[in-house]
Amino acid sequence: MNISRRNLLIAGGAFLYTPRLLAEPEKAGQLSTPPGKSLGFAVMRKGDKIGEHLLTFDGQGGNLKVEVNVELKVGLGPIVLFRYKHHATEVWQNGQLAALDTETNDDGTHHKATGRYSPEGFKVEGTKTKPYIAPPDALPATHWNRKQLDGPWINTQDGRLLRPTITPMGKAMIPVASGSEIPAEHFSLTGDAILETYYDDVRNWVGLNFKAGDGSEILYERV
């Protein structure tokens, strides 16, 4: 079973980037977070649930702590063929990304990434990159913050800087875990990340889908 983080959320590819797609930016120092301070997705493959992607938000306005937890397991009967576990913490102060800490177990391969704000900028280190100062508009690839479509991504598994090409695809209806569908804005990503992502009309992340390494479709259903 060939399902890896590279093929899950932020796959490798060519250097391509389309800047400044988002109109109506949020007020300075403010961050748009979902109601209820949590966001959850059932991760589906071939009609079966293989795990969950959960986010919690602590704080308000421009001061915020975001916890991300992803757990996936693919098996054949009682035999586990693939496991994946990821945890990330983002800290925001006055609307500025101040810290990032992540740990990942990708089916036995371990990764880390860290980031800290400094006078020089946001310094990133990771298992797949040398330390670097991220561009001012770079954001963690944790998907909840629609502003990430407006600049480069910091790969939250290994720290690499990604520059996907982002194409607005218009309105779409996407499935949710309840069995119904909801309207959303659809964005298609290619290059450094190959996936489809969706946001509602108040900028909340509501869906995602992509192809795994074995060609199967992975679908996020909002719970």
What is the structure's pLDDT at 31? 80
pLDDT for 19-75, tens place per residue? 223 333 345 446 878 888 999 999 999 999 999 999 999 998 789 999 999 999 998
Contact 172, 179 (CB under 8 A): no
CA 30 to chain CA mean position, Å: 20
Task: Print the domain residue range for 51.
Answer: 5-222
pLDDT of residue 156: 97
Structure-token match 């695809």, residue found: 169
Taking all residues of the chain, what is their mean pLDDT, rounded to a whole number? 87
Low-confidence ranges of the chain (pLDDT < 70): 1-30
Q: What's the pLDDT at 76? A: 84
* pLDDT at residue 30, as a whole number: 63
pLDDT of residue 21: 32
Residue 18: what pLDDT?
A: 28
Using an 8 Å Cβ cutoff, are 212 and 81 in contact? no
C-alpha pair distances (Å), 167 with each of 26, 186, 188: 21, 9, 5
Report field, pTM of the whole predicted structure over 0.75: yes
What is the count of structural domains for the chain? 1
